[in-house]
Amino acid sequence: MNKSINKSTAWKKLASHYRWHKNEQMKDLFAKDPKRAEKYTLQLEDLYLDYSKNRIDSKTIRYLLKLTQEVNLKQKIEAMFSGAKINQTENRAVLHTALRNRQNTPVFVDGKNVMPEINHVLLRIKSFSEAVRFGKFKGATGKKLTNIVNIGIGGSDLGPFMAVTALKEYCSKDMTCHFISNIDGSACDDVLSKLDPEKTLFIVVSKTFTTIETLTNAKTCRQWLVDALGEDAVAKHFVAVSTNAEEVAKFGINTDNMFEFWDFVGGRYSMWSAVGLSIALMIGMENFEKMLDGANAMDIHFRNTDFKENIPVILALLGVWYNNFFGIKTHAVIPYDQDLRFLPKYLQQLDMESNGKSVDLNKKFIKYSTGQVIFGGAGTDVQHSFFQLIHQGTQIVPIDFIVPAISHNEIGNHHEILLANALAQGEALMTGKTTKQAVAELTKAGKSKEEISQLKAYKTFQGNRPSNTIVIKQLTPYTLGMLVAMYEHKVFVQGIIWNIDSFDQMGVELGKKLALNILPELKGSSPVSHDSSTTNLINLVKSLRK
Task: For residue 78, give every residue at least 6 positions away whose Cβ sits within 8 Å of its Cβ, in sequence order, or none.
Answer: 303
Residue 455 backbone phi and psi in degrees, to 5: -100, -20
Nearest to 233 by CA among 150, 145, 297, 293: 145
How far apart CA 49 and CA 416 sit, in angstroms, is: 20
The question of whether 353 is a catalytic residue gets the answer: yes
**Candidates 32, 35, 363, 384; catalytic one:** 384
The SS3 call for residue 538 is helix
Q: Cis peptide before 380, with omega less than 30 degrees from 0?
A: yes
How far apart CA 15 and CA 63 sit, in angstroms, is: 10
Q: Are 87 and 94 in contact (CB under 8 A)?
A: yes
Strands in 200-205's sheet, in edge-to-edge order, are 176-180, 147-151, 200-205, 238-241, 258-259
How far apart CA 413 and CA 350 sit, in angstroms, is: 35
The question of whether 384 is a catalytic residue gets the answer: yes
* CA angle, residues 484, 370, 152, in degrees to nearest 5: 45
How far apart CA 319 and CA 374 sit, in angstroms, is: 11
How far apart CA 275 and CA 260 sit, in angstroms, is: 9
Task: For residue 277, give every residue at least 6 positions away whose Cβ sits within 8 Å of its Cβ, in sequence order, or none.
Answer: 125, 128, 129, 150, 160, 203, 205, 239, 241, 259
What is the separation, in whole angstroms, between the first and last Cα of the chain?
Answer: 57
**Candidates 120, 168, 329, 512; catalytic one:** 512
Q: What is the DSSP letter of 271?
A: T
Task: Count the residues in the chain.
Answer: 546
**Candidates 213, 289, 353, 521; catalytic one:** 353
How far apart CA 144 and CA 142 sit, in angstroms, is: 7
**What are the catalytic residues?**
353, 384, 512
